[in-house]
Amino acid sequence: MKKRLTLLLFFAVLAAYVLDQAKASAQEQPARHPLIIYYSLTSNTRIVAAELGSEFGCERLELTSMRERTGFWKVNCVIDQLFDRDDLPGPVKLDYTQYNPIIIACPIWIHRLASPMRTFLDHKRLTGKDVYVVVTHQGNYEEKNEQAVRQFLADQDMHLKGYGAVLTRGKTEAEIINETKSIIKRNFPEMEKPFSGNSN
């Protein structure tokens, strides 16, 4: 009887230890649940975001703007950038707070992230998140512009893990997709493909 009780006690302690270890390791390794957040005015960045989405098998959140920006009203894009004006954002249709990492895709306007993305990222909305960034541009984008974007992200307390730029000038959709694929290979090597929910 005494032997059985000792054995039972031993297994109870062992089970408690194993459960405790499992709990601790779940806490140490937060779930990886990636999300692509992007903005696109003339569709180039939408192509990039779609390709990222299919490569990593993850959801996409498109940011929208309530400000008129087509035709003559492209002038609004310029005013936003030159005078650091906030966008008038459309509704954000997904609770992005539970996701990590975040893959940001955004056009460059006047050497900076386009105002709908800047406005979204302002006020430290993605603080503490791991972020990967792909910007699209037409070739008027220098090293110092990239440094300024990197600094902006750091100021918002994001952890930048990878950065790439897609030149869209004169490119077909297929060429933009190919360029996105090479950026993933070259600049985001540690990203797992496809993401599988809770795996680390």
Ligand X SMILES: Cc1cc2nc3c(=O)[nH]c(=O)nc-3n(C[C@H](O)[C@H](O)[C@H](O)COP(=O)(O)O)c2cc1C
Choose one: 22-30, 57-65, 92-100, 138-146; the region binding ligand X (CB under 6 A). Answer: 138-146
Smallest gap from Cβ 154 to ligand X, in A, equals 21
Burial of 157 (0-12, 13-18, 19+ CB in 10 A): exposed
Q: Which tokens hold the place of 138?
A: 């037409």
Q: How far is the CB of 20 from ligand X (least distance, A)?
A: 49
Q: Using CA atoms, how far apart are residues 148 and 116, in angstroms rounded to an integer? A: 17
Please report how close the Cβ of residue 34 comes to ligand X at its closest, in angstroms. Answer: 20
Cα dihedral sign, 77-100-96-151:
negative
User: Of 135, 172, 128, 138, whose CA–CA distance to 150 is shortest?
Assistant: 135
Nearer to ligand X, 37 or 100 (CB): 37
Stretch touching ligand X by CB under 6 A, among 14-22, 42-50, 89-97, 179-187: 42-50
Closest by CA to 85, choosing from 97, 102, 67, is: 67
**Rounded to an integer, what distance in angstroms lies between the CA atom of residue 38 and that of residue 59?**
11
Binding mask 171-200 for ligand X (x = CB under 6 A): ------------------------------
What sections of 29-142 are H helices per DSSP? Answer: 44-56, 75-82, 115-121
Which residues in the 65-124 window bind ligand X by CB under 6 A? 74, 77-78, 107-111
Among residues 33, 41, 150, 161, which is the contact residue for ligand X, using CB under 6 A?
Answer: 41
Judge contact between 90 and 69, C-beta under 8 A: no
Choose between 44 and 100: whose C-beta lies nearer to ligand X: 44
In whole angstroms, give the CA distance from residue 57 to residue 101.
13
User: Min. distance of Cβ 131 from ligand X in angstroms?
Assistant: 18
Closest separation in Å from C-beta 194 to ligand X: 24
Binding-site ranges for ligand X (CB under 6 A): 40-46, 74, 77-78, 107-111, 136-141, 168
